[in-house]
Amino acid sequence: MPEQREEFKIDADQLVKKVKEIIAAGNARTIIIKNEQGVEVMSLPLTVGVVGTLLAAPLVAVGAIAALMTKCTIIVVKK
């Protein structure tokens, strides 16, 4: 079965919130964040066992990236 991808174009100030929502949904395998030019700036591989404090550091990094961009694209690779 081919992997499914879903794409969201959002303002950077909504980036952390959207990433948290995607993680909470629990059906994402990888989250890829691209800047306005379409260049990948971060890839977050998610595994079944990744929860809580293990996600704190990546979410801080996502917040830092959001501070440097105005618009971005989130690509969610689903299971």
* pLDDT tens digits for range 9-48: 999 889 989 988 988 888 888 999 999 999 999 998 876 5
Task: Return the SS3 of 69.
Answer: coil
Sign of CA dihedral 25, 33, 8, 14: positive
pTM score = 0.82
* pLDDT tens digits for range 38-75: 999 999 887 655 555 456 677 788 888 888 888 999 99
What is the torsion angle, in degrees rounded to the nearest 10, for the CA atoms of residue 71, residue 79, residue 29 and residue 21?
A: 50
Domain range enclosing 62: 4-78
> How far, in Å, CA of 58 to CA of 6, rounded?
20
Domain total of the chain: 1
The contacts of residue 41 (CB under 8 Å, 6+ apart) are: 33, 34, 35, 65, 69, 72
